[in-house]
Every structure is written in structure tokens, then in C-alpha cells.
Structure 1
């Protein structure tokens, strides 16, 4: 049982799952949601992210075994494929009512974002349109959260989310480009190659942070500019060493930038 639990935790992609949930909770706080509202948003987003992560490993199990992925619990036998599939179904079933408890429109927007992520898992990632589900899902995430507060989401929030998600797609694909190509996955990052995908990730992430700083009305704050500078330093540090395309340094930098975005959202009015 202990091994199964560990396998399920690893199969849900815990780093991005927790990062996306934290971003959603941060936006909810910034939008003025009460504590119970923040918890509802976090629960809906967490179950959605769990369903996406587990579905990804369930569908990729054969490919992961073929290339000998030691970081994939189904491929290593830590957890059975059917258990991961059942967990994905349970998380999906929980995500629907949790989403709609935040409001009909908001819940519908969140489910569109989750379905978009499922579409990526189900095959869009193997096409040149692979970045679109990331852009749509991450762009709709802050829209969903702001709608739960009864406010109209500002344009720059959707734009920042879409840019952040697109950058995450390129960074996330970098370590696995060779293994993906061997198993028939040829998305946009594979078409561009590791060098251009790295620069695409950097440009998109810096664009997202810039949008968060410059989007709200009024002059950019000193704190916002400082966080943008910190994001530049984090990404520069990840790119500076000659680590090769198999390194996850840039992917982990994405997580750090996502946390900086949470801090920025906590101090930025959404009106």
C-alpha cells in the first residue's frame, strides 16, 4: 500500500500540480475571496491537475516503458497502470462538482481548461499545435478564479496566464525531446529543437511577467519591477550552464518563476 501511494504521488506530476494549485490560490486571495472560497478554488484546481497528471502517465505507460523512464512509476512497476487510471477517473469525477460549487460560469470555464489539458494528454502533444492546450488552459485558469469572485477578469490576466503556460510547455518538453521522438511524439518543441525551444520558453516567461507588471492600471510598482528582475535572474541562471537538452534546470526555473508570479499577484490589484 505504501508503494502504491508513493507511485500515485509520483504519477500525478507533483511539482507542476502543486505549483498550479498555488498560483490559483494566490489569484483567489488577490481577488478578495474569503478563506472558504480560496479553499474551494484550490480543491477544484487540485483535482483537475491530479486528473491531468494521472491521465498523462496512464496514456504514456507503454512509451515510458519503451524508453526506460526510471522516473515514471508505472514504467518501473511501482504502481499498476489500472490503479493510476482509476485515480484519474476519481479525480475527474471530483473536479466537476467542486468546479461548479464556485459558480456555473466559473465552473464551466475551469472544466474547459481541464478538458483542454486532457486533449493535450490524449494526442495534441504529438502535433504542431501542442502549445495551444497549454496556452488555453493556463490562460483560462486565472479567468476562472476571478470569475468566482463575481468580477470581470482583466485582459492582461488571461494574456499572462497564456504566456506562462506556453513557456511551461517548451521548458517541460526539453528534457524529453529525444525520448519523445523515439516513441512518435513530435510536438512544436520537437520541431524547433532544444536551442530554439529554450529561447521560446525564456521569451514567453519573461513576457508573462512583464504582462503582470505592466498590465494593471497605473505605473509599475517597485515591487513588481523587482520581481521581474528576479525572474530574469532565475532564468539566466538556468540557461547559463551548458547542461544539455536532458537537464531539468529550466523546468525547475519555470516553477520558481510561477511562485514569483504568485507573489506578484498577491500585491497587484486585479481591477
Structure 2
């Protein structure tokens, strides 16, 4: 028996790695880790949190692959070499099938948290991801899917608890506003390319200059809700997290317009700090 992998296995591994590059891996991993940590903080336990992680991962994979499949023509037109389909190293039909398979897998994985929690999570994946990719990306309602998708995540966590409570208002509202901010920052580096290929969502209609001012304001509003909304005082750590996240939000929109990844990564950092704020008050989610 050979100790070295065969050419067939190497090709299969390469195809898998290329496919994973098309799922928007940064966002997929970040959201999965954040929500899993939130589940642990809220008392879902190791087994329950593992179920949350699997469901969220499947949902995010489906949304990311759906996005690359839908945007293949536009990405090719503007020369997005960082996208495997647009770069010609991955067939569009492969990404489409992977998105459908991940969405189907998301259903039983979500049901591990109970019917109500599963319904909320699947609604968030469909309304917050698939509806954006297929219907709302080029409309003035483009922030709405982000708001719905982010708002569904705390509910997915808490509705999976034995008593099935809905999350506190501040967790839902703060997450929804954070989603809108993430949309603005995510779109900002690509506004010119989007307009050139006919994408006219709300950020594109507002323009890059307006979005650079609006994005940090929206992010800071979300952080304000997550900091001041829970009962009791946020404490020194809570306010320090809020201040750090505020700086990151401003930095995200201050980067050069041609920097595609910088603003997006800064947005992920802000989301991480906001979730950190949620983690500090995990027991107060319900």
C-alpha cells in the first residue's frame, strides 16, 4: 500500500478546496463561530451548541455558494479573479448543486434544535441569504435580508433552549441593525463594479460617499443597542468592547475604495466584538 496520496485523491482534494473558496469562507466561518459561542453562552450546552454550529455552517455554505453561482456572470465581467467561478477554475453548475445540497442538509440539522427554532433559522437563511441573492440584491430593499438574517440568529439560539423563549428585544434589534451595517460595509468596495453590471441595491443608489458616512453610524447604533439595552450596567469591559468596535467600524469605511477585502474584514471584526458584547450578557438573552 502506498504511503502517498494518489493522483485521483489529490485532484478531489483540490476540487474541494476550490469549492470551499467559493463559499465566502471568511463570512461562513465567522458567523458559524460567533453563533456557536453565543449558544454556549446562552446555555445550550456542548451537544446543543454543536447542533447549532452544524446547522449554521450548512446555512452559510448554502448562502455563499448561491451568491457565487448567481453572481458568476457579473463577477466574470468585472474580472473578479478571487472568485473561482469567475476565474474559470470551477463550473457554475457545481456551485449551484453545492448550494442546493447545503440548503437541504440545513433542514434536518436545524430541526435538531426543535421545530420552532428550525423554522426561524430556515426563514433567516431563505429570507436573509437566498432572497437577497435571487431577488432583492438590486432593489432598494437590499438591506432587509441582512437585517432579517442577523435578527434570526439570537432567536435560533434561544428557541432551542428547553423553555423555548424568544430572545430579548435588544438582542434582536441590535442584531438586525448590525446586519444592515454589515451590508453597507460589505458592498462599499464594490459599488463601482456593481453599478457597471446593473446592481442597484440601496447602497449603490446612495453612492460610495454616503455609505462611508452611513455605515459607521449604523454600526455604532447597533453597538449602542447591544451595550445599553441589556438590564443592569455594561461595566468597564462592556464599554471597552463598544469603544473598540466603534473604532473598527470607522476604520472599515476609512479604507481606500479600491481595497476590496479590508472593509469586509473590518466588518467581520466589528461583528465579532458585537457578538462579544452579546457573550458578556448571554444569560440575559431571554
**Number of aligned pairs?**
270
Q: Find 1:56's aligned residue among 52, 67, 80.
A: 67
Query: 1:139 touches 1:159 (CA, 8 Å); kept in 2?
Result: yes
| Partner Cα distance (1:215, 1:73) in 2 | 42
Tell me if structure 1 keeps the 8 A contact 2:227–2:239.
Answer: yes
| CA drift at 1:247 | 4.1
CA offset at residue 245 of structure 1?
Answer: 5.2
Q: Is the 8 A contact 1:3 1:79 kept in 2?
A: no
Aligned to 1:252: 265
Q: Equivalents in 2 of 1:26, 1:60: separation in Å?
A: 31
Q: In the alignment, does 2:144 pair up with 1:132?
A: yes
1:263 is aligned, of 257, 261, 276, to: 276
What CA RMSD, in Å, does the superposition of the two structures yield over aligned residues? 1.4
Structure 1, unaligned stretches of length 5 or more? none
- The answer to whether the 8 Å contact 2:213/2:253 transfers is no
CA distance in 1, matches of 2:198, 2:251: 32
- 1:26-45 CA deviation, whole Å, 9 max, x = no partner? 22012111101001011101
**How far 1:252 moved relative to its partner?**
1.3
- Runs of 5+ unmatched residues, structure 2: 1-11
Is the CA contact 2:190–2:260 (under 8 Å) kept in the aligned structure 1?
no
Rounded to whole Å, the distance in 2 between the matches of 1:142 and 1:165 is: 13
Residue deviations 1:35-91 (CA, integer Å, cap 9, x gap): 010010111011000000001111111111111111110011221111111111110
Larger Rg: 2
1 or 2 for the larger relative contact order (CA 8 Å, sep ≥6)? Answer: 1
State the match for 2:165 in structure 1. 151
Equivalence for 1:224: 238
CA distance in 2, matches of 1:64, 1:244: 18
Classify the secondary structure of the residue corresponding to 1:204: helix
Q: Is the 8 A contact 2:185 2:252 kept in 1?
A: no
Question: Which of 58, 73, 87 is 2:84 aligned to?
Answer: 73
Q: Does 1:119 align with 2:128?
A: no
Alpha-carbon distance in 2 for matches of 1:247, 1:11: 16
Deviates more, 1:212-221 or 1:156-165: 212-221
CA distance in structure 2 between the aligned counterparts of 1:102 and 1:247, rounded to whole angstroms: 36
1:95 is matched with 106
1:3 to 6, 14, 19: 14
C-alpha displacement of 1:212: 1.2
